């Protein structure tokens, strides 16, 4: 599939996430992987929606600055995303150990939580910036201790926000969702597509750099 917004543009995925890479391949995009990261500390005064939006925009702006240094005359589109899991107004990051993953899964067991993604796009040519926040609700079935232990032993939870991946073995834990499935995986494709097709198409030669976080 050839999308108008990528015609004559190079695409770079600045994320080590194999899930985000697979989503981009799924919609027919060809790209190079170039991971990028910024300080993801949360300010006490900001809401979680403000947090994911700020982190995504910070990543996009940081990447834009790098691009201006590397290719000052090339119109470049920077895309950044930050995904978190929220339960009872608390943010769950990636578990630091099997014990941490076990504790997270016990918190999610039998309850509804929210997967929240901030998406930011910066156009270095027009200096246009677009930010969106997408939320998806996820309901888990009640998990047994054995189910949690088996899943943690698989190693799958350790590189994922909230300690699970809906596209993997944890799919059987999900009773229902409300919202964008791909947002749970790590990149809300419909929202990203809407942002990209709103950008100018009249570049003669440009680069499109996609910067979702790891």
Residues with catalytic roles: 82
Task: Count CB neighbours of 71 within 10 A.
Answer: 15
Percentages helix, strand, coil for the chain (3-state, rounded to 5) are 40, 25, 35
Q: Which of 128, 116, 123, 130 is nearest to 82 (CA)?
A: 116
**In angstroms, rounded to a whole number, what is the distance separating the alpha carbons of residues 37 and 17?**
12
**In angstroms, rounded to a whole number, what is the distance separating the alpha carbons of residues 20 and 10?**
17
**In angstroms, rounded to a whole number, what is the distance separating the alpha carbons of residues 67 and 64?**
5
**In angstroms, rounded to a whole number, what is the distance separating the alpha carbons of residues 12 and 34?**
6
Question: 149 phi and psi, to 5 degrees?
Answer: -65, -45
**In angstroms, rounded to a whole number, what is the distance separating the alpha carbons of residues 70 and 91?**
35
Cβ(125)–Cβ(137) below 8 Å: no
């Amino acid at each position: 599939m050839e999308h108008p917004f990528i015609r004559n543009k190079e695409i770079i995925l600045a994320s080590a996430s194999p899930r985000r890479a697979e989503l981009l391949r799924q919609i027919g995009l060809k790209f190079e992987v170039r991971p990028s990261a910024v300080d993801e500390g949360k300010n006490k005064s900001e809401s979680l929606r403000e947090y994911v939006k700020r982190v995504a925009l910070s990543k996009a702006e940081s990447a834009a600055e790098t691009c201006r240094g590397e290719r000052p005359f090339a119109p470049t589109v920077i895309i950044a995303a930050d995904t978190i899991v929220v339960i009872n107004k608390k943010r769950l990051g990636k578990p630091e150990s099997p014990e941490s993953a076990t504790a997270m899964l016990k918190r999610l067991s039998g309850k509804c939580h929210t997967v929240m993604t901030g998406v930011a796009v910066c156009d270095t040519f027009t200096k246009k910036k677009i930010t969106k926040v997408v939320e998806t609700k996820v309901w888990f079935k009640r998990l047994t201790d054995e189910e949690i232990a088996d899943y943690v032993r698989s190693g799958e939870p350790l590189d994922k926000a909230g300690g699970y991946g809906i596209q993997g073995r944890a799919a059987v834990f999900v009773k229902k969702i409300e919202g964008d499935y791909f947002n749970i995986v790590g990149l809300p494709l419909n929202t990203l597509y809407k942002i990209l097709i709103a950008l100018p198409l009249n570049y003669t030669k440009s680069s499109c750099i996609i910067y979702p976080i790891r």
